[in-house]
């Protein structure tokens, strides 16, 4: 089963994803696939907060860029992938990640997956060309993952809305 959680910054999506992964694992192991890199002190602090929140028995795998799909395929049991936006950033300015490669890896893996992604299409219109390319690439990636997901949840202010497929 693939569950996609979408939300804005500080919406509570990662904490809710952690809860879903814990519940879904049923006491079994959870692999936390971390896609973010500590590029500055703010990002380092965010990563540290996420690490402190995770149960000690979880295994953390740092996977960015082209390393993520094979890492997903090789992981067994419950996986929490956090997050698609930081994964996309690893593809530098063109954000040329291949959604099909990621979706194939998500579908092919053995075990359930909770995927976290930023919903950037509801925010302010980006003022730079790079910002618009990122917003568009992430929006397309989110749509591709949502198309294969068994469930899609939108997180707003710590509240969960289930999004129905039409």
Query: How far does Cα 30 stand from its chain's mean position?
Result: 15
Task: Note whether 34 and 62 are within 8 A (CB).
Answer: yes
Task: Note whether 4 and 151 are within 8 A (CB).
Answer: yes
8: number of Cβ within 10 Å = 17
φ, ψ at 103 (rounded to 5°): -60, -40
| Distance of alpha carbon 83 from alpha carbon 134, whole angstroms | 14
Q: What is the pLDDT of residues 125-151, one digit of tens each?
A: 899 999 999 999 999 999 999 999 999
Q: What is the pTM of this model?
A: 0.93
What are the helix and strand counts (H, E) for the chain?
6, 7
pLDDT value of residue 71: 97
Topology, domain 2-163 = Rossmann fold (3.40.50)
**Catalytic position from the list 37, 46, 50, 133:** 50
Residue spans of the domains in the chain: they are 2-163
Give me the helix-helix angle, 99-108 and 129-148, nearest 10°.
30
Active site residue 125: no
Residue 77 region by backbone torsions, left for phi larger than 0, else alpha for psi between -120 and 50, else beta? left
User: What 3-state class would DSSP assign to 7?
Assistant: strand
DSSP 134-160: HHHHHHHHHHHHHHH-SEEEEEETTEE
Divide the 166 residues of the chain into consecutive groups of 10 and give the mean pLDDT of each group.
Answer: 95 94 93 86 81 87 94 96 95 91 96 96 88 95 98 97 89
pLDDT value of residue 92: 82
């Amino acid at each position: 089963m693939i569950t996609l959680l979408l939300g804005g910054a500080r919406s509570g999506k990662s904490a809710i994803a952690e809860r879903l992964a814990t519940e879904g694992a049923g006491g079994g192991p959870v692999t936390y696939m971390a896609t973010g890199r500590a590029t500055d002190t703010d990002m380092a602090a965010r990563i540290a907060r996420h690490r402190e929140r995770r149960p000690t028995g979880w295994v953390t795998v740092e996977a960015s860029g082209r390393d993520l799909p094979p890492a997903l395929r090789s992981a067994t049991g419950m996986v929490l992938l956090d997050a698609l936006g930081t994964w996309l950033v690893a593809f530098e300015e063109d954000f040329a990640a291949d959604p099909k490669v990621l979706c194939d890896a998500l579908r092919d893996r053995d075990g359930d997956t909770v995927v976290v992604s930023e919903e950037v299409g509801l925010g302010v219109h980006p003022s730079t060309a790079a910002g618009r390319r990122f917003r568009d690439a992430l929006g397309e990636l989110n749509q591709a993952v949502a198309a294969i997901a068994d469930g899609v949840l939108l997180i707003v202010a710590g509240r969960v809305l289930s999004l129905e497929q039409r």
